[in-house]
Structure 1
Amino acid sequence: MAEQEQKALQFIAEAEKKLKSAKGFFSSFFGGGSKQEEACELYVRAANAFKMAKKWPQAGKAFEEAAQLQMMMGSKHEAATHYVDAGSCYRKGDPHGKSP
């Protein structure tokens, strides 16, 4: 399981790197959107790896990041799907809804 958690952390690092390279004046005209799509895919892969490691809060957060990117790209349906996935992960992590 630690292996899956490591993979997830690598995916998140790659996603953040893609997002940093997608910012800027020229990238908005020349392929900034594809970097966001790639980052979104990496966040989903990270979330799934966290799920396999049973790290539910981290999986939920990764799905939320993917949802926010989808909203910025105008894909409301995809964003909603990721928010539902995030909610499912949070529920599994804290089934009684108690906050720390």
Structure 2
Amino acid sequence: TMSSSTEPTPMTKVLIFGGKTGWIGGLMGELVNKEEGMECFLAESRIENRADVEAELDKIKPSHVLMSAGITGRPNIDWCEDHKPETIRVNVIGTLNV
């Protein structure tokens, strides 16, 4: 026989980096929020700041992390070519921090 548990199933915590202001991250947040049993958190920290990223991960303790943060260049990709240090700091170092 199977015994029924009275303990609630823990929520799946999903932390999204790039969801507060990013188009793709925002869409991911909407999808996660539609799922029963999932709790979505939009990261507050800047991904290039490792200490802040670690503090946020320690605080929320997510079971899943989605990463959509990054610089794509505005108004176009030429911006990234002209601002290589900033682009590398966010797109490479920031991703490694997460």
Output the TM-score relative to the length of structure 1: 0.31
- Greater relative contact order, per chain length (Cα 8 Å cut-off, separation 6+): 2
Higher strand share: 2
Calculate the TM-score normalised by the size of structure 2: 0.31
